[in-house]
Chain A
Amino acid sequence: MTAAGPAAAAAYIDIADICKSYSSAHGEPTVALGRVSLQIERGSFVSIVGPSGCGKSTLLQIVAGLLAPTSGQTRLNARPVTEPPAEFVYVFQQYTRSLFPWKTVERNVAYGLEVRGRLSRSEIDRRARDFIALVKLSGFERHYPWQLSGGMQQRVAIARALACGPDVLLMDEPFSSVDSLTRVGLQELLLRLWKELGFTVVFVTHDTDEAIYLSTRVVALSKPPASVAMDLPIDLPRPRDQIATRELPAYLAYRHRILAQLFADEGLQRAAPAGSA
């Protein structure tokens, strides 16, 4: 991890005043995102949480260059992002739809490398097999994605994303459609790879616990038109432990603050008023 020098004014990823509105057939346009600004440091693990439908995924797609903002700009190293940059790879929530069903596991993992076309065929194949091994799927190279379980498919998607050596992984609720034990396994896998490979993660989730557990920083968005409602650095010891970390007082304090913010935003009534927030 290279810390940005104090003189460097520009952040690594600078999300500046992003607005996104959708025009409806009649009436006023729907404003999904209203001026979201966020600076993300290189090597950090930033989670974005918020009520469902608040535009978390929309924001991530705009950052990825997959969707154009209505106004505002994302800059990577001070360079505006207008189309998906080579440094970013986006991991979709719907792994069953994002993996190509006509390609085997190995060809899916090799896909990003093939598109970029900088390596020879044999190097691509070797690298694909290395990353399949890294996500513990050796022996499944010739299987098709639809022959695998949900958790295995998402591991294929992660291997494919990482095989082309991205600097930033943009993940849209990647673990939300697997069962909770599989999710724990995927969280550990992601943390291990993040530590080993040193990429930056921007992670969208609706699961506050997942966000705190994984991240160096949690950003909460408000209801639409969404803006940054809370920006919380997470200072918990690493390596994190699925049981012990989640029992730390500091962990529970973070959880309290983020949930209180989300509940207040949703206007949820709490059964026993805690007295203070």
Chain B
Amino acid sequence: MARFSGRWLGFALIAALLALWEIASVLKWVDTFTVPRMSSVATTIWDLLRSGVLPREAGASLWRMFAGYAIGVVSGIAVGMLMGSFRPVYYLLEPLTEILRPIPSPAYVPLAILFLGIDDEMKVFMIAFASFFPVLLNTYSGVRSVDPVQLGTASTFGARGMKLLWQVVLPSAAPYIFTGMRISLAVALIVMVISEMVAASNGIGYFILAAERGFKVREMYAGIVTLGALGYGMNRLFLAIEARMLAWHHGFTQQQKP
């Protein structure tokens, strides 16, 4: 976490860049068609918010994103737990995941369209598929690094099978799982935008592309700014949830340091 005393610095930089944008546009240092004034973009955002256009587009995007993210995270945790706990499952799935994982998400958009069409199923699938791998890999690492003393403790009390996985392995691996989930959150946002730009009739990705094609440059900027705000908000929310769920882990690791 950043030190409190210096936190305003980062916001000051953003304010300065916005001011520079405004000045550059007013003084015509840049082409005012491609770079409209910051204040006019702000007005556009305000109008789009009030008319309900942006909330509607953002809502459509967020729904897809969270549906896909949730599916990807849950299945990533489940498969990661299985691969980490059972060697045969690991040997069975490891080569497949290592082949599928490096393929950049946009590369399988055509395939997804072929099988799932251009509706929400395709986008949700794309987002889920891309969110799956970071969670899978981190869950696997987390499960493999569970302290054998904790496992021994659980088994001396008679914990077996699902109880052991649920009560000891999962909480113990949670810090790793959250790392994977944070990576996946960023990935999900990217894939959401890409899938909406390729084939959609609503959503922020579609909105940005449509604005650009219709020479509505201010709206295009409004869409991009909205994405930035959404990403920032989601990350803050994620960090808040993580800090709450993993409060024990921060205390524990602080304590372990000499």
Contacts and interface: CB of A to CB of B under 8 A. Distances in A.
A166 to B, nearest CB: 9
B152 A115 contact: no
A66 B148 CA distance: 11
Interface in B148-171: 149-150, 152-159, 163, 167-168, 171
Interface string A218-248: 0000000000000000000000000000000
B249 A98 contact: no
Most buried by A among B155, B158, B174, B249: B158
B252 interface: yes
Contact of B157 (A101, A111, A146, A147): A111
A84 B164 CA distance: 14
Contact of B171 (A100, A144, A146): A100
Contacts of A96: 256
Interface string B215-258: 00000000000000000000000000000000011011001100
B149 A94 contact: yes
Contacts of A101: 248-249, 251-252
B94 interface: no
B147 interface: yes
B156 A144 contact: no
B156 A146 contact: no
Contacts of A72: none
B149 A84 contact: no
Contact of B149 (A98, A102, A115, A146): A98
B85 to A, nearest CB: 17
A111 B164 CA distance: 12
B216 to A, nearest CB: 51
Contacts of B163: 115
Contacts of B168: 100
B156 A64 contact: yes
B153 A92 contact: yes
A95 to B, nearest CB: 9
Given A98-B152, A144-B252, A112 B157 contact: yes
Contacts of B159: 115
A100 B255 CA distance: 14
Nearest to A88: B156
A84 B156 contact: yes
The size bracket of the interface on B is 20 to 34
A105 interface: no
Interface in A135-168: 144, 146-147, 164
Contacts of B157: 84, 89, 111-112, 115-116, 164
Contacts of B172: 100, 102
A81 to B, nearest CB: 12
Given A101-B252, A102-B249, A147-B251, A115 B153 contact: no
A25 B245 CA distance: 42
B152 A66 contact: yes
Interface in A109-145: 111-112, 114-116, 144
B158 A98 contact: no
A97 B150 contact: yes
A121 B46 CA distance: 53
A144 B152 contact: no
6 contacts: A84-B157, A94-B149, A97-B149, A97-B150, A114-B167, A115-B163
Interface of A: 61, 64, 66, 83-84, 86, 88-90, 92, 94, 96-98, 100-102, 111-112, 114-116, 144, 146-147, 164
The 8 closest A-B pairs by CB, nearest first: A97-B149, A90-B156, A146-B255, A101-B252, A112-B157, A102-B248, A98-B153, A115-B157
Given A102-B248, A112-B158, A146-B252, 19 more contacts: A66-B156, A83-B155, A84-B157, A88-B156, A89-B157, A92-B149, A97-B149, A100-B171, A100-B172, A101-B248, A102-B171, A102-B172, A102-B249, A112-B157, A115-B157, A115-B158, A115-B163, A146-B248, A147-B251
